[in-house]
Structure 1
Amino acid sequence: MGTTKSFPKDFLWGGAIAACQSEGGFGKNGRGIAVSDISFFDKNIDRQDLAKHRNITTEIIETAMKDPGTKRYPKRHGIDFYHRYQEDIALCAEMGFKVFRFSMAWSRIFPTGEELTPNEEGLAFYDAVLTEIEKHGMEPLVTISHFEMPLALVNKYNGWADRRVIEMFVRFANTLFDRYKNRVKYWISFNEINAGRFTTFKSTGVVKDKSEHYLRDCYQAVHHQFVAAAMITRDLHAMMPEAKMGCMIAFFTTYPATCNPDDVIQMMLDNQYDNFFYTDVMIRGKYPKYMNRFFVDEGISLVMEEGDLELLANYPADYLAFSYYMSSISSAKADELVQTDANLKSTGKNPYLESSDWGWQIDPKGLRYTLNTVYDRYQVPLFIVENGIGAEDQVTADGQVNDDYRIAYLQKHIEQMREAVVDGVDLIGYTMWSSIDIISSGTSEMSKRYGFIYVDQDDEGNGTLNRLKKKSFYWYQKVIESNGEDLGI
C-alpha cells in the first residue's frame, strides 16, 4: 500500500467566521433578536471570570431586550460584515482560500423561529454572499446553527429543551437547502454541539433559572438537536444526493495528569462525556452504553419519541468536523489541579505546555494525536473547521501588524496536520479561526483577535472598521499556494 507524504491536491484550505460575531445589521431588514444579542461586554469583568460571561439569567435577558443599542452588546454590530462582505470575501480570496466557512443566521431568515414563511430579505443577503464566494472560485461551507437561535424560542419554549423547536429548525434548514441546493455542497448542522453542556444558553437557549432540572434539560436539548440533525441530513440527501452534512464538536483533547490509574480512568471518562458521546451518536448512530451509567448517576431520564433512535441510526453525519485550540489534563483529584481558561470551559493546566495570553494551552502535537484518535475510532473524513490563537494585536506606527506569534502557532499546528495525513488520516480541509478579526464568542470583546485581517474597532465599538492585512495574511497566502509545503516566514 502506498502512503502520502503531504496534503492531497484537492485539500480545502480556508478560514471561518460566524454570523453572530461578524455580521452586525442588528434589527435591519427583518432580522429578529437572537441569543447572541444578549451577550454583553463589560470591561470591569475579569476575562477569567467565565461564569459572569456565560451564565445568562432571565433578568439579564429582560434587561438586554429593553436596550435597543449595540455598545453594550457588541455582537449586535459585529464587524459590519453585513455591509462589507464583498471586501472581506475578496481579501480571503486574495489569500487563496479554497473554502470559506460562514453561518446563516436563523433569526435573519425566521425572525422568531415560528414563522411559516421565511424573510426574503434575509435569504437575498445570503444569495449575495454566495455569489461573492462563487465569483472568487471558493467552496462555501455553511454552518446552519452557530450560537444564534432566535431569542423568541428561548422566551417561549426554554430553547431546545422543548421538542417543538425541532420542527422549526428543520423548516429553517430545508428553506436553506431549497434555496441553495445547487450552490452549497458542504454543510454543518450545529456548531460545537457539545457546547450544549458547557455554554448552554448560546448553544441551546436553555436558561438555568427556567429549569426545574437543569442538567436534564441540557441533555434533553442536545437529544433534540441530535434528532434534528438526523432529520436534516435525511432531507439534504433526498434533495441533494451529492451534498455532505457534517457534525461538529469542540474537541477537548486531554491527557492523564499522572500515570496513576485513577487519573487514566478520569481521562477516559472526560473523553467519553465531553467528546465521544456526541460523535458516537452522530457518526455511529446510536447512544453509547457508557452514557447509561452517567444518566443513572445524575438522575437523568431522557424523553424520546418512537422513531428517534431509528432516525439517528439511519442518518449519521457524512464527515466529522471539529475545532481544536488547546489540550488539557484530567485528574481524579480535579479540585487540586491548577485551573486555566480554555475553549468553552476552564481546565487543568499542563505544566509541559506554553499558554496564550488568555491561558489557552498551546499543544500542536495534541492535534496530531487527536486526528489519529478520532479517525481510528470513526473512519470517516475529518475537517478541522476552527484552529487559531487569540491575541492583542498591535498596529505599528507605519501601519503594520507583525503577528509572528500567530504564524508560529499555525505553523506548528499545520506541521502536525501534515504528520497526521502521512499517518493515514483522511483530512479533507482546514478553515482557520478566524479569517478576519471578529467579536469574541466568549467575552464579546474585540481585543481578542484571531484573524489574518485586522479590523479597526475597539471593545466599545469605536473605530473606522478599515481592514488591514497582517503579516500572517501573506504567510498563509504562501501556505495555500504551496499546498502546505512552505510554512516558513
Structure 2
Amino acid sequence: MANEFFWGGSIAAHQCEGAYDVGGKGLGIMDLVTKGSKDTPREITKTLEIDKVYPSHQGIDFYHHYKEDIALFKEMGYTALRISIDWSRIFPNGDDLKPNQAGLAFYHEVIDTLIAYDIEPIVTLYHFELPVALVEKYGAWLNREVVELYVRYCEAVVKEYHEKVRYWVTFNEMNHLDPQSEQSDIFTYMIAGLKYSELANQPRDLAIIGYHMTLAGVKAARKIREIKSGLQVGCVFGLNPIYPLNCDPQNALRAFLDNERDYYQIDAMCHGRFPRYMLREYEEMGIDLPIAATDADDFRYGTLDFIGINYYFSSVAAPQGESDSEQAMFGGMQNPFLEQSKWGWAIDPVGIRYVMNYVYRKYQLPVMITENGLGAVDEVVSGEIHDDYRIDYLAKHIEQVQLAMTEDHVECLGYLTWGPIDLVSASTGEMSKRYGFIYVDLDNDGNGTLQRLRKDSFTWFQEQIQIATSKDLVGAK
C-alpha cells in the first residue's frame, strides 16, 4: 500500500493552454494541425493557413483561466495535477541561447497556484510539444542534435522549478510512434514532428527516432538527478493490452509479441541498457543505430523511479486468416466480448488491472495511472450535464485499480484521469469528444463562451475522493 496516493487529473499544454502566439511563444508542431473528427483525419499543414481551424491556438484558454480551473480542481478534492510544459513556450525556436522569461513566469504562476491549493504538481517535459523550428532546422528526432537540445531544455526547466516540483515525467507516449493504424501520420507527427508517410525509410527512421527519444529520456533523468537528489523521474507510456482471441498457441504467441512491441523503450529505461533483442532485430533488418560510446553510461545511470500508465482500452490479437477483422488502434482487432465507445475504443475495466500487474511485476517499480477516461458527447440540458456513462466507466476502472493494489499488491502512486476538464482531443482535434468532469462551452470550430460548468461526474468524483481518503481505500496524500 502506497503511503502517498494522488487523486487528480492530467492535461497537456497544446490541448488546453491556447495563447499560441502570446508571451513570446514559438510555433509548436501541434499549432500546425487542423481540427478533424472520428471519420476525417486531422490535416498537418506546412504553414498556417487562414481558412483552417487550428484547435491548439485557443485550446480551452487555460492560459487565461488557470486560476479558475485549478480552484475547481481543488473543489473536487484533487491532490495532484499533471501538466505539461510547452518546449516552444520556454525556447521558442528550441535552440535559443536563453529561455523565454515570459514562458518561465507563466508556469511559475500555474505551479504556485497548485501549491497554494495543496495540489502536487507533476510536470511532463514533452507531451507532443516540439518546436517547429527544430523540425525545419534539424529534421526533428532523426537528428541526434535534438537529443542534446532536449536535455538542455529539461535542464533549464528543472533548474527553474526544482524547489517546487518533485515529480517529473520525461516523455508522454513515445511508444506510440507507429500506431499500426490509418492514423499513423498524425501519431508519428504528434510524437516526433514527422509524418509517417513522409519518412524516407519507415522502419529505419522509426528505429532511429525511437532510439533517440529513449536516449533523450535517460539522459534527461540523469541530468535531473544531478540538479537535485530526491527528485522522482518517470516516463509515461500508453499501454493497451492485447489479449489472445482464443487458446490457439500461435494466437497466444502473437498476442505476446504484439504486446511486447510497446515495451522495448521501457525495458531500456528500467534495465539500464538498450535491449539486446531490439539490437539484433535492427541488425537483421540492416538498420544501423547511431549509438555513441557514451550512451551506455546514460542508460545505466538514467533509469526510472516510476512508470506512468495511460490506459484507455484493450484489443485482441487477430488469428491467422482474420487480418481483415475490425482493426483496433495501436494494433490488434476489436474484442467481440466488449462494448465500444462512440470513437471505437473498447471499454475494458479489467484491462487496467491487467496492465498494472504486468508492468509492476516486469519492472518492480511503482506505477502511476497518469491517464484514464471516457471520451463522449455530452449534452447540456437546462445548464446541467448528466453523464452517468462517464461515472459508470470510471467507477469500474477505479474498482480494478483498488483490486490491483489490495489483492495483487501493486505499488501505485496515484490515479489521474484524462482529463479533469474538457479539452481538445489530440487524435481528432475535436471538442465534442469530451472527457472532463468540467464542461467547457466551446465547439469544434472554436466558438463558444468558454464558460465552465460542473457535470454530474464532478460531484461524484468529489465524493469518491472523500470516501477513499476517509477509509484509506487506496491511500491518501
TM interval, shorter chain, is over 0.9
Query: For 1:61, what is the secondary structure of its paired residue?
Result: coil
Match in the other structure for 1:191: 172
Match in the other structure for 1:245: 233
Match in the other structure for 2:184: none
Match in the other structure for 1:433: 418
Do the aligned partners of 1:20 and 1:75 also contact (CA within 8 Å) in 2? yes
Task: Write the distance in 2 (CA, Å) between the matches of 1:340 and 1:475.
Answer: 34
Match in the other structure for 1:445: 430
Match in the other structure for 1:408: 392
Match in the other structure for 1:461: 446
Pairwise CA distance, 1:335: 5.1
Pairwise CA distance, 1:206: 2.6
* Structure 2 counterpart of 1:76, from 45, 57, 67: 57
Instruction: Answer yes or no: is 1:36 the counterpart of 2:20.
Output: no
Instruction: Answer yes or no: is 1:348 the counterpart of 2:333.
Output: yes
Task: Write the distance in 1 (CA, Å) between the matches of 2:66 and 2:171.
Answer: 23
Mapping of 1:135-150 within 5 angstroms? 135-150=116-131
Q: Does 356-365 or 308-317 show the bigger shift?
A: 308-317
- Size of the aligned set, in residue pairs, is 464
Match in the other structure for 1:367: 352
Which one-letter code corresponds to 1:97 in the other structure? Y
Match in the other structure for 1:17: 11
Q: Which runs of 5+ in 1 are unaligned?
A: none
Task: Write the distance in 1 (CA, Å) between the matches of 2:200 and 2:340.
Answer: 38
Q: Does 462-471 or 329-338 show the bigger shift?
A: 329-338
Task: Write the distance in 1 (CA, Å) between the matches of 2:107 and 2:94.
Answer: 18
Task: Write the distance in 2 (CA, Å) between the matches of 1:137 and 1:383.
Answer: 19
Query: For 1:130, what is the secondary structure of its paired residue?
Result: helix
Match in the other structure for 1:302: 289
Do the aligned partners of 1:48 and 1:341 also contact (CA within 8 Å) in 2? no
Match in the other structure for 2:182: none
Mapping of 1:57-456 within 5 angstroms? 60-62=44-46, 65-67=47-49, 72-198=53-179, 199-208=187-196, 211-273=199-261, 275-333=262-320, 336-342=323-329, 345=330, 347-396=332-381, 398-422=382-406, 423-456=408-441
Q: 1:327 to 1:436 in 2, by over 3 A?
A: same
- Root-mean-square deviation (Å): 1.8
Q: 1:317 to 1:468 in 2, by over 3 A?
A: same
Query: For 2:81, what is the secondary structure of its paired residue?
Result: strand
Pairwise CA distance, 1:139: 0.3
Do the aligned partners of 1:340 and 1:360 also contact (CA within 8 Å) in 2? no
Mapping of 1:41-56 within 5 angstroms? 41-42=35-36, 47-48=38-39, 52-53=41-42
Pairwise CA distance, 1:459: 0.3
Q: 1:288 to 1:48 in 2, by over 3 A?
A: farther
Q: Which runs of 5+ in 2 are unaligned?
A: 180-186
Do the aligned partners of 1:192 and 1:322 also contact (CA within 8 Å) in 2? no
Task: Write the distance in 2 (CA, Å) between the matches of 1:455 and 1:346.
Answer: 32
Pairwise CA distance, 1:66: 3.7
Query: For 1:117, what is the secondary structure of its paired residue?
Result: coil
Query: For 2:45, what is the secondary structure of its paired residue?
Result: helix
Which one-letter code corresponds to 2:401 in the other structure? M
Q: 1:444 to 1:347 in 2, by over 3 A?
A: farther
Pairwise CA distance, 1:361: 0.2
Query: For 1:133, what is the secondary structure of its paired residue?
Result: helix
Pairwise CA distance, 1:265: 1.2
Q: Deviations over 1:135-193 (max 9, x none)?
A: 10110000000001101111222211100001211111111111101000001000011
Task: Write the distance in 2 (CA, Å) between the matches of 1:471 and 1:486.
Answer: 24
TM-score (norm 2): 0.93
Query: For 1:401, what is the secondary structure of its paired residue?
Result: coil
TM-score (norm 1): 0.91
Query: For 1:201, what is the secondary structure of its paired residue?
Result: helix
Task: Write the distance in 2 (CA, Å) between the matches of 1:188 and 1:330.
Answer: 30
Pairwise CA distance, 1:211: 3.5
Do the aligned partners of 1:337 and 1:349 also contact (CA within 8 Å) in 2? no
Q: 1:129 to 1:334 in 2, by over 3 A?
A: farther
Query: For 2:431, what is the secondary structure of its paired residue?
Result: coil
Percent identical pairs in the alignment equals 41
Task: Write the distance in 2 (CA, Å) between the matches of 1:416 and 1:454.
Answer: 26
Pairwise CA distance, 1:299: 3.6
Query: For 1:437, what is the secondary structure of its paired residue?
Result: coil
Pairwise CA distance, 1:300: 2.4
Do the aligned partners of 2:124 and 2:171 also contact (CA within 8 Å) in 1? yes
Do the aligned partners of 1:329 and 1:350 also contact (CA within 8 Å) in 2? yes
Do the aligned partners of 1:101 and 1:142 also contact (CA within 8 Å) in 2? yes
Q: Deviations over 1:194-228 (max 9, x none)?
A: 12233211101134465321221122112111121
Q: 1:416 to 1:138 in 2, by over 3 A?
A: same
Runs of 4+ aligned structure 1 residues displaced above 4 Å come to 484-487
Q: 1:360 to 1:471 in 2, by over 3 A?
A: same
Task: Write the distance in 2 (CA, Å) between the matches of 1:476 and 1:337.
Answer: 40
Q: 1:334 to 1:205 in 2, by over 3 A?
A: farther
Q: 1:152 to 1:130 in 2, by over 3 A?
A: same
Do the aligned partners of 1:206 and 1:218 also contact (CA within 8 Å) in 2? no
Q: 1:264 to 1:194 in 2, by over 3 A?
A: same
Do the aligned partners of 1:197 and 1:219 also contact (CA within 8 Å) in 2? no
